[in-house]
Structure 1
Amino acid sequence: MTNGAAYEAGLRQHGSLTIWFSEDAVQAWRAAPRTTRGGQPRYSAVAIETTLRLRALFHLAFRQTEGLIGSLMQLLQFDLPVPDHTTLRRRARTLAVVPRPLTSGPLYLLVNSSGLKLIPSCRSTDT
């Protein structure tokens, strides 16, 4: 080991997390009104799938996941509904969510209208 400071900085960066919510994800987070008979949905598929992927990624219980999403919405200053733990538990039975395995280095979470994408590192492309 020749550079202890760089090594320490690298270890701290392993805990780094960046989350982006695209504008279309914010728009898709709210459930569209139902046009048929029955109660109105509270959460969109994007909201449920994103929440369940974060739950799987961080190995959280349903109530902890609800708290995590609530904290994210508060930190990002989004006025979006947070899926409750009972809804998450019920929907998790029918929706298989398996996140990509973590790699060394920072992890970037990109939330767009198609759901959550896990990106091990941001690489610029020359195309």
Structure 2
Amino acid sequence: MAKPRYKTTNWKQYNQALINRGSLTFWIDEDAIQHWKQLKQGNRGRPRLFSDLAITTALMVKRVFSMPLRGLQGFINSIFKLAQLPLLCPHYSCISK
């Protein structure tokens, strides 16, 4: 059975739909921004710099975009820079542990 072909009549809308396919939007919650860094953990030893939320978020982005860890660190840092947020991505060696 052959695939049906459709005649495009509204080229302006069709072209805009193709352009919108490449659009990428990130929404960062205010609560996530406030809890990005680890507060006090209450245990002995070296304190953690980043919360579990930060590491989990980085791992989700890594999984969605199939990125290596070093590329992920640069990608998330560039998102924060574009959003003008004073945050940093956890180091790739911190994410992998």
TM-score, normalization by structure 2: 0.85
**Whose helix proportion is higher, 1 or 2?**
2
Per-residue deviation, residues 62-119 of structure 1 (Å, max 9, x unmatched): 00000011101111111123111111122xxxxxxxxxxxxxxxxxxxxxxxxxxxxx
Q: Distance in 2 between matches of 1:64 and 1:81?
A: 14
**Which residue of structure 2 lines up, in the alignment, with residue 78 of structure 1?**
85
| Aligned residue-pair number | 90
What are the within-5 Å matches in structure 2 for residues 49-88 of structure 1?
49-88=56-95
* Residues 16-39 of structure 1: CA deviation (Å, up to 9, x unaligned): 121121211111111122212111
Extract unaligned runs of 5+ from structure 1: 91-127
CA distance in 2 between partners of 1:81 and 1:6 (Å): 39
CA distance in 2, matches of 1:58, 1:5: 30
Unaligned runs of 5+ in 2: 1-7
* Contact kept in structure 2, 1:51 and 1:65, CA below 8 Å: yes
**Alignment counterpart, residue 45 of structure 1, candidates 43, 52, 59:** 52
When the two chains are superposed, the root-mean-square deviation of aligned CA atoms in Å is 1.1
The structure with the greater share of residues assigned to strand is 1
Q: Report the TM-score when normalising by structure 1.
A: 0.66
Of structures 1 and 2, the one with the larger relative CO (CA 8 A, separation 6+) is 1
- List structure 1 segments (4+ residues) > 3 angstroms apart after TM superposition: none
- Hey, what's the Cα distance between the residues in 2 that align with 1:33 and 1:82? 19
**Percentage of pairs with the same residue:** 33
